[in-house]
Homo-oligomer: A and B are copies of this chain.
Amino acid sequence: MAQREAELDGVLVALADPTRRAVVTRLGRGPATVGDLARPFPMTLPSFMKHVRTLEHHGLIRTSKSGRVRTCELDRARLDVVAHWLDEQRQVWEGRTDRLERFVTDSEEHS
């Protein structure tokens, strides 16, 4: 449980930045080199690399190097960690709604 919480912390921190989210969206269309990924962003390559490393550190992307070219690939499963947590919240709300409905139904039956 603690490991899952730490994983969620990391994924959420990694996604809490517009540049990193844009990289995730771009990699959703397929793998890309760091050079191609960096091009649209108005920042230096070292600054951009920090974002790449944050995403890699928290497991959202995998990178591999061939010669001087580093290619990045999205690991969608990490986004599922967030989706799963959101689903759990929804189940909590629905449980609450179910209880409210049961309460209303029971009240009507006994009135």
Chain A residues in the interface with B (C-beta under 8 A): 5, 8-9, 12-13, 15-18, 21, 24-25, 28-30, 76, 79, 82-83, 85-86, 88-89, 92-93, 95-96
Contacts and interface: CB of A to CB of B under 8 A. Distances in A.
A89 B78 CA distance: 12
Given A29-B96, A82-B86, 14 more contacts: A8-B21, A9-B17, A9-B18, A12-B13, A12-B16, A13-B16, A28-B92, A28-B93, A28-B96, A29-B95, A76-B89, A82-B82, A83-B83, A83-B86
Kindly name the residue among A17, A25, A30, A89 whose own CB sees the greatest number of chain B CB atoms within 10 A. Answer: A89
A94 to B, nearest CB: 9
A79 B89 contact: yes
| This protein's copies in its complex | 2
Nearest to A83: B86
Contacts of A92: 25, 28-29
